[in-house]
């Protein structure tokens, strides 16, 4: 599965997830964060935190997100 296909899958699963688990208020910041996550999925530049945010949505669709996406490794040199 390509990254673009995963991004489309994320949008579909997210809309289904929100139907079953409605949110009281959606802010512009939430929409921007979702768009940023989609860009990160397409460019394959996800962090561990991003993967933890994506995990419940993909689990809802019975998909293992860790099978398709990997977190970027961060190296810090002193």
pLDDT, tens digit, 9 for 90 and up, residues 23-67:
777 788 888 999 999 999 999 899 999 999 999 999 999 999 889
Q: Write the burial class of residue 19 (CB in 10 Å: 0-12 exposed, 13-18 middle, 19+ buried).
A: exposed
Domain that holds residue 64: 3-68
Residue 62 lies in a domain: yes
Q: Return the half-sphere exposure (C-beta side, CA atoms, 13 A cut-off) of residue 14.
A: 16
Residue 74 lies in a domain: no
Structural domains in the chain (count):
1
Main-chain phi, psi angles of 49, to 5 degrees? -65, -40
Residue 53 lies in a domain: yes
Structure confidence at residue 13 (pLDDT): 94
Which residues make Cβ contacts (< 8 Å) with residue 66, sequence separation at least 6?
A: 51
pTM for the full model? 0.80
């Amino acid at each position: 599965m390509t990254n673009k296909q995963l991004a489309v899958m994320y949008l579909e699963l997210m809309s289904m997830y929100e139907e079953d688990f409605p949110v009281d208020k959606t802010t512009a910041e939430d929409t921007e964060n979702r768009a940023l996550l989609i860009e990160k999925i397409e460019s394959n530049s996800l962090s561990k935190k991003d993967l933890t945010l994506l995990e419940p949505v993909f689990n809802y669709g019975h998909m293992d997100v860790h099978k398709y996406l990997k977190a970027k490794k961060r190296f810090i040199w002193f």
